[in-house]
Structure 1
Amino acid sequence: MPVSIVILTKNSERTIKKCLEAVKGLSDDVIVWDSQSKDGTVKIAKKYTKKVFIFDDKNRTVTGAKLKNLAVAKAKHDWVFSLDSDEYVDKTLYDAIGKAIEQEQFVGFNVRRKDYTFLKTYVHTIPILRLYRKSKGEFRHSVHEKVYADGPVGTLAGTLYHDSIADAEDYINRFNHHTNIEGRRMADSVPLNMPRLIGQVAVRPWIEFGYWYVFRGLWRRGFGGLFYSLCSGFYQVVKYLKYYERKQGLKKD
């Protein structure tokens, strides 16, 4: 089938087998782009594909969209289905991908991704563009990167499951990683304005908490929903703290 599957990995031993099993037989071009995993990720991936690339970014300057676009450049087909290592397709989505690439009027397709976090808490279902022509689209943004396509986009049947967080420790590690990236990005591009910064720190956490807990309905998800919403609010505090540290010269990479 003329579609390449591109999967990014880093210490993904927990989820990579399920991810690869779910797309087995869907493509003759499965690419695993690994950021120097220290566990059994690469060994598992090599059982499914010969195209396993180890990316060495010693200075940790290539993240988010840049990293994904580098991996996509290895794809031999124009149609690309991009996956994270903690995502897996259901049978309906598997079948829909094969039919979708025959539709010439579209340059990409959204899939419905069902997100789960720690304590196996269901967060939400969102449309996300993952199947696209690489000649017509690319990833953008350094954190929470997503595909932007130049042309009409359809929607596929089926579900992409996102088993993102193993436990609280895993969440905190990712939390720290992403706030580092955002703090660095802001310090490089946003001038320090103390009144504005104080306002953001005072208001943004509550907006973020309210968005998830009330608007997105996580109050229905019990303790897991409450904890996720609180952490989402605190994320904003830490992001701005790391930005301030760098602007004051208190933190250097």
Structure 2
Amino acid sequence: MITGIIITLNESKNIKECIESLLQVCSEIIVVDSESTDNTVQIATELGAKVINQPYLGDGIQKNVGLDYSTNDWVLSLDADERLTDAAVQEIKAIDLSNTPHDAFALRRKNHIGSRWIQQCGWYPDFCIRLYNKNKTRFAAVKQHAAVQASNPYRLNADIIHYSFEDIGQLFAKPGRNFSGRAAKIMYEKGKKANALSPITHGLNAFIRKYFFQKGFLGGVDGMTVSLSSAINSYLKYAKLLELQRDPKVLEKENFNKIW
């Protein structure tokens, strides 16, 4: 038996399909909601999910909240904008979870912009551990880019679909997701330092990595766009960190208790 766990914040557009996807392999669904102001909670409740209200604590910490409410040892974690493919459903159903040497299972993630599957820039195969035994492992308790810390994972030959961004515009400014600002705050709290060259060097390195080493040039306009967005995000992350270090007025008004 598997428990599906989803963390949400204003995901009324996505939550129904995500829950329905998980119900193909899960006996219960837990939604950990970060005080949504739309009807995310209502939709989830109507579909039979157990909803836990929890102000956002950070990526890995938030994803672990639902573990205390799970009645099953095995957990399948999806973001609200992710779906299981038919192949993933079949692969998961074929696992003997009561008699496996593995503490977790990874799936390839097919990241999309709109309906376009982006195969370059490191966006595929993008293996992610999503099915794991909560008694043996869990997400790292970090505030951003958390991953399951498994000791003996196995890679399944199947994908999950990730509707990352609705369009190119959202790639640069996804509503409610200030990635660079959040990352800068996390780095500042950890004591990391930036200098005047940091934004430029990190931004340039991000573009070179995505466009050349991860073959974004093979992806045409989308490959270039993803590479540029990565460069801009990296540039802004270090520019904002530098601003926090050198501008007392900006630092004073920043709320470090609010991660989003």
Secondary structure of the structure 2 residue equivalent to 1:73: helix
One-letter identity of the residue aligned with 1:184 = K
Distance of aligned partners of 1:241 and 1:21 in 2 relative to their CA distance in 1, 3 Å threshold? same
Per-residue displacement from partner, 1:14-72 (whole Å, max 9, x unpaired)?
222221222224222211111122223222212322402222x2xx5x11111111123
Structure 1 match to 2:144? 143
Q: Does 1:77 align with 2:75?
A: no
Secondary structure of the structure 2 residue equivalent to 1:155: strand
Aligned residues of 1:3 and 1:81 also touching (Cα < 8 A): yes
Distance of aligned partners of 1:220 and 1:183 in 2 relative to their CA distance in 1, 3 Å threshold? same
Shift of 1:188: 1.2
Distance of aligned partners of 1:161 and 1:25 in 2 relative to their CA distance in 1, 3 Å threshold? closer
**Distance in 2 of aligned mates of 1:163 and 1:139:** 22
Shift of 1:121: 4.9
Structure 2 match to 1:134? 134
Shift of 1:133: 0.8
Determine which of 102, 106, 109 is the counterpart of 2:102.
106
Shift of 1:176: 5.2
Determine which of 224, 227, 231 is the counterpart of 1:233.
231
**Distance in 2 of aligned mates of 1:236 and 1:49:** 40
Aligned residues of 1:11 and 1:39 also touching (Cα < 8 A): yes
Q: Does 1:165 align with 2:160?
A: no
**Distance in 1 of aligned mates of 2:92 and 2:62:** 24
Aligned residues of 1:111 and 1:155 also touching (Cα < 8 A): yes
Runs of 4+ in 1 over 4 A off after TM superposition: none
**Distance in 2 of aligned mates of 1:176 and 1:201:** 20
One-letter identity of the residue aligned with 1:152 = N
Shift of 1:230: 0.4
Gaps of 5+ in 1: none
Gaps of 5+ in 2: 256-260
Shift of 1:184: 0.8
Structure 1 match to 2:2? 3
One-letter identity of the residue aligned with 1:190 = G
Q: In percent, how many aligned pairs have the same letter?
A: 25
Distance of aligned partners of 1:237 and 1:220 in 2 relative to their CA distance in 1, 3 Å threshold? same
Q: Does 1:188 align with 2:189?
A: yes
Aligned residues of 1:110 and 1:130 also touching (Cα < 8 A): yes
Cα RMSD of the aligned pairs, angstroms, is 2.1
Secondary structure of the structure 2 residue equivalent to 1:161: strand
Structure 1 match to 2:59? 64
**Distance in 2 of aligned mates of 1:213 and 1:184:** 27
**Distance in 1 of aligned mates of 2:176 and 2:45:** 29
Structure 2 match to 1:21? 20
**Distance in 2 of aligned mates of 1:33 and 1:131:** 17
**Distance in 1 of aligned mates of 2:239 and 2:199:** 9
Aligned residues of 1:16 and 1:41 also touching (Cα < 8 A): yes
Distance of aligned partners of 1:175 and 1:11 in 2 relative to their CA distance in 1, 3 Å threshold? closer
Distance of aligned partners of 1:176 and 1:106 in 2 relative to their CA distance in 1, 3 Å threshold? closer
